Structure formats: structure tokens, C-alpha cells
Amino acid sequence: MLYTLLRVIVDKDSKNLVLAAVASAVLIQLHLYGAIFIILTIMLLLIFRPPVNHRHVIAAIIVFIFLHTPLLLFEVSHGFENTSAVYNGLTHTTKSVSSYEPGG
């Protein structure tokens, strides 16, 4: 994914946005924390502002949504269990190992 993003920024080849969308979708399917790379991608595109063809952007969005359909259907049918787990992992603190007290 980062390689395709590099090709968009350095080579100014916006066709690679579609490949970046495929890589992002696969990454998120593997682990939801991969969504952080979407934020990174958006930030890098806003910082470097490479020239992009709007058709490539629309194609990338369509491919991304299409590849996420199975995950979305799973999440909806299971009450967003995975999404809730990621949200709870990001927002709730846990006890550190150093504060563990045996027997109590």
C-alpha cells in the first residue's frame, strides 16, 4: 500500500490510487487497526497534493467499498462486535502489569 502511495506522490501516477484502495481493503480485512493507514494516506495526499485524475479517485472509492461489502455485511449481522472491540481497545485504559497485586 505504501509503495502504491509513493508512486502516486513521486511519479504523479494517480492510477495507483486504485491499487492503494485494494491494498487498504485487504489490510483492513486482515486487521481493523489497518484503518490507520487510511488516515495516513489522506494526510499524505493533502500534504503533498499530487495531481490526481478524478476518475481514478472515484474508481478507488468504488473498489474500496466493493471489497468491504463482505466485512460490512458480517459486522451488521454480528452487531458490530469487531468494530466495538477496536473502539474499546482505543478508548479504554487497562491496568498495567506493574499495578497487579497477587490475591487481590
Contact 5, 16 (CB under 8 A): yes
The answer to the question of residue 33 being in a domain is yes
Q: Is the pLDDT of residue 101 over 70?
A: no
The answer to the question of residue 101 being in a domain is no
Question: In the chain, what is the straight-line distance between the N-terminal and C-terminal CA atoms, in Å?
Answer: 47
Q: Is the pLDDT of residue 96 over 60?
A: no
pLDDT score for 100: 55
Q: Is the pLDDT of residue 104 over 90?
A: no
The answer to the question of residue 21 being in a domain is yes
Q: Is the pLDDT of residue 31 over 60?
A: yes
pLDDT tens track for 49-77: 999 999 999 999 999 999 989 988 999 99
Given CA atoms 9, 11, 12, 16 in this order, what sign does their dihedral have? negative
pLDDT score for 22: 93
The answer to the question of residue 51 being in a domain is yes
Domain count, the chain: 1
Domain of residue 27 covers: 2-90
The answer to the question of residue 99 being in a domain is no
pLDDT score for 102: 64
